[in-house]
Amino acid sequence: MTTSNIPSPDDIGYLAAAVDQARSAREHGNHPFGAVLVTATGRIVRAENTVVTSGDPTGHAETNLVRLAAAQVPDELAGSVLYTSTEPCAMCSGAIFWAGIPTVFYALGGDELIELMPAGSDEFTLGLSAREVFTRGGHPTTVHGPIDLAGAREVHAGFWV
């Protein structure tokens, strides 16, 4: 896990794992989003989007991850890093903030995702960056992204039609 603005090879590897989770979500019939949490002790928690298969509109990869991590590694959240295939939406940013996770890396930017949507799409989008959400919080959250990563855009190819 990096402490500078340049992602380390480990950071890139965890981002790639988040993209793999996004691919898995898509294969399971869900929206292509995935997330990975790495604790300071090296424990790893993974989650994918389950909005379609669970019928839960809050089943985004990051909110699912926060729920799992809060159950599995509750005492390690404050020292963890969250890696996600796509910039967290406002809801997910809120969940990350409330969990006290201090660092987030993401590959595909939210604005880039919106650009992938076809004109006139009825998909819900919210043009509010994760940085803006975190900036308004009462404790610091460091955000790294977008980080150009092979596969982060590709996992969405042909999905949003």
Catalytically active residues are 62
Separation CA 46–CA 62 (nearest Å): 9
Query: For 122, phi and psi rounded to 5 degrees?
Result: -95, 10
How far is residue 129's CA from residue 115's CA, in Å, rounded to a whole number?
14
Query: How wide is the angle at C-alpha 61 spanned by C-alphas 130 and 158, nearest 5°?
Result: 95
DSSP state letter for 26: H
Q: What whole-number distance in Å separates Cα of residue 159 and Cα of residue 111?
A: 17
User: Which amino acid, residue 35?
Assistant: A
Q: Coil, strand, or helix at residue 12?
A: helix
